[in-house]
Amino acid sequence: MVPESTGGSTGEPTREPTTDGDAKRDGEEPRRFQFDPGRRRDLTSPRYSRFVGMMKLLLPLMALGLVVAVVIWPNEFREATGFHLSYDTPDDGSAAELTMLHPRYLGTDARNRPFVVTADRATQDPKDQRNVTLLQLQADMATADGRWFTIMADKGVYHQQRQQLRLQGPINLFSDQGYEFTAQIADIDLKAGRAVSDQPVRGQGPFGTLQADRMEVDDFGQRLLFMGNVKMRVMAPARGGRG
């Protein structure tokens, strides 16, 4: 069957194409190839599909490479010894400082105990890139026997090399033993598992309530030391069988 012309103007059947040489020998003008849109789509469709598939793979890789370059080029923003940084979404920080949303700092202390520091926002100090200002942060520390200690603060400055946090209040400290303390300023040494506050603190726990001028927390909350004008109110345990 001879295909019909797709032009729709003459209705004449399409003749087989010949070369210019054949047309000259026959005394006729060279015949032109008939344009067939359907045939062109058939030829280009596999090529276009391969191109789309390749772009689906390359574009995410290019975007990832760009994000990594933006984050790592100003500074590696990570320590080589057991400290890693991850984040969800980069923010529109200026060229002078690096700002990120929802960062997560993972590390281990001197005794290989894990800790994690999370925050709503982190901004690297352009003058000292080892310092990172954290907003709405939380530090979680755990011991080998499963005990934990958590510190929450509105603001803090994290020194990446020293693994130390300088917190500004209000600061809340919690432990799995039922203790809860509040302070306005505290220094946290994540590498040593130690927290110190030289400002008045208040707290409560299974023993009752307590307030003091200073506080030290060692061994990830396993040992508490209060100093200066210590006042404690001990609550007697409830006796069973009585209302």
- Domain extents for the chain? 20-72, 84-234
Q: The domain at 84-234 falls in which architecture? A: Sandwich (2.60)
Per-residue b/e over 113-146, b at no fewer than 16 CB within 10 Å? bebebbbebbbbeeeeeebbbbeebbbbbbbeee
Q: How far is the first Cα of the chain from the last one, in angstroms, to the nearest whole number? A: 103
DSSP code, position 4 = B
**How sure is the predictor about 133, in pLDDT bands with cuts at 50, 70 and 90?**
very high
pLDDT of res. 106: 84
Instruction: Judge contact between 189 and 175, C-beta under 8 A.
Output: no
Consecutive H or E run containing 208: strand 208-212
Q: Is the dihedral of CA 95, 99, 100, 104 positive or negative?
A: positive
Give the Cα separation of 190 and 149 in Å (integer). Answer: 11
- Asked whether the predicted pLDDT for residue 205 surpasses 70, the reply is yes
Total length of the chain = 243
Mean predicted confidence (pLDDT) in 31-45: 46
Lowest-pLDDT range of 55-69, 99-113, 169-183, 199-213: 55-69
Give the Cα separation of 4 and 14 in Å (integer). Answer: 6
Mean predicted confidence (pLDDT) in 90-106: 71
pLDDT of res. 238: 60
pLDDT of res. 120: 94
pLDDT of res. 184: 93
- Asked whether the predicted pLDDT for residue 226 surpasses 60, the reply is yes
Q: pTM here?
A: 0.57
Query: What are the distances in angstroms from CA 49 to CA 39, 41, 45, 52?
Result: 16, 12, 6, 5
- Asked whether the predicted pLDDT for residue 149 surpasses 50, the reply is yes
Give the Cα separation of 130 and 124 in Å (integer). Answer: 8
Instruction: Judge contact between 221 and 147, C-beta under 8 A.
Output: yes
Give the Cα separation of 32 and 52 in Å (integer). Answer: 33
Lowest-pLDDT range of 145-149, 165-169, 192-196: 145-149
Consecutive H or E run containing 52: helix 37-72
